[in-house]
Structure 1
Amino acid sequence: MSSATLQKAAGRTRPADRPPARRRGGSLNHQTAAAWILALPFVALFLAFTAGPVLGSFGMSFTDMKQRDLRTPFAVNGVGLDNYAKALSDETFRKAAFNTAYFVVVGVPLTLVAALAAAVLLDKGVKKFQSLFRVGYYLPVVTSIVAVAVIWRFVLAPDSGLLNTVLGWVGIDGPNWLASKTWAMPSLIMMAVWRNFGSAMIIFLAGLQGIPQTVEEAGQLDGASSWQRFRYLILPLLRPAVLFTSVTTGIGYLQFFEEPFVMTQGGPLNSTISVSMYTYQQFGFGNYSLAASMSYILFVVIAVLTFIQFKVLREK
């Protein structure tokens, strides 16, 4: 056979180890189809129970839908931004917004400071029974709000409560904490800090244990005090943990609902009512469109606060 014939035969022959392009494309199409089939249950549930209700409530906020319109939901009238204007002009809603801001501005820093102090204590100070202390600090996080409410009602009871009893030992007549316009909100903040600082403590503890020991040793060699090493070496390295805990704690505190609902029912005189609780009340009254607009106002506030926290606390 001539060399020219062999070259032609070689040109027509495809290497056995090279799959056809069409076969590769077909395999990828099969994989994509299989992935969509496996994801279909989640996608269907997400659309039906998350995306659908969210979009429906957003559209509802621009209508005059009330409880009487449930039988004819498509017969409602569009009102534009009237519900948002009505919510912002509602005196009780503005009181709830002030209470929520107060709860967040005071509660978030206290929670983070308590969590960081506990994390430093567990990382540096407590050498024995560390696991026991970790469980003890974290236990309130997983405890039911009903159980927490029972405990704190006993602690804050006006006559026989634990706190007023201790204050009486030093000659101080404690107030009726949960029935006082002055002390009801600080009482709820104190309870929330006690209940929630454990989750932030776990994050801070993980961050502290991830910092190399050589960093602190270098500061010691340079003559830095314990506070200076913590302030200028340890704390900057904890910036990602501080960002994460401040964002998650801030989002949770902006939506605080269980504390006033269980402990004070929003009283006394709406001094502890929150935006989430007032929205829940409006929904219970059948004002569905107004409740939806209030929830989206809260959503915008959460988004803005989160954006500000990322701008301020993110790593430079």
Structure 2
Amino acid sequence: MSDINEEKMERVIEQMVEDNIKFIRLQFVDINGTVKNIVIPFNKEDMEDLFNEGMLFDGSSIAGFVGINESDLVLKPDINTYSRLSWRPEESAVCRFICDVWTPEHEPFVGDPRSVLKKSLAKIGKMGLQYNIGPEPEFFIVDIDENGYPMPYDEAGYFDVEPLDKGPDFRRELTLNLEELDFEVEASHHEVAPGQNEIAFKFKDALKTADAVITFKQAIKAIVDNMATFDQLDYRVTFMPKPFFGVNGSGMHCHQSVFKGDKNLFSDPNSETGLSKDALHFMGGLLKHAPAVTAITNPIVNSYKRLV
């Protein structure tokens, strides 16, 4: 079950000691895209077994996973996803590993979204291809009014500055924390709708990007919650597609490319559009499979309030 480099494992364990880690979050995502985790205390002597064998958990209580008669599943940490959580206390530090979900028979669990993605990437990897995604997640920062209802925390619009835009300090703090989590933040700005923001980070291969988006959403909610507590304000963050009627909703543009070595297969500087035939066929495939893709990328009723 283990293919972990011993030297790398030792380096990560030593880094955990240096970071004063006391607790470990073993994190995964259910079929609905909801982040789940199990927290265990850090014990240096137990880490080799954890990395090599993983940790059993009850999968029957996770939406869309398994029934009660086949409840045992295994969380196996991806050693490459180690990260100290910057918003947790330094004196009792917490780290997280993103995990793959396995069966007790040492097979990738078919209901694990991350394993499904890895299987698809392995398929195109055999063709010498790398699929990259650069996301632009949008989100609202909201305040709670005297009646307990959410409302945008400012009245600014696209690319506005202070005093209309009340978000520079938020975005600065978010960017600094995200950089501590190894994000390469490319740009941040106020979006079109009141209270709406965007922080874009550099494209990477699809697996790293998928991990990053989950971390991004979790980190932003936690960081803003911490800032609101410190400032004694009731700020919240929502990635809900259409939280407010009559104004722009939030989406996540995904810039996509396929590389073969250092060559971007979607680029053709000699064509009229700058796009290659591969790029046109790729877009044709997206259009052909749009209904199925939409079911995944727009999974709730509120998604369609945004689309119309």
Work out whether the TM-score is over 0.5. Answer: no
- Normalising by structure 2, we get a TM-score of 0.22
- Normalising by structure 1, we get a TM-score of 0.21
**Structure with higher RCO (Cα < 8 A, 6+ apart):** 1
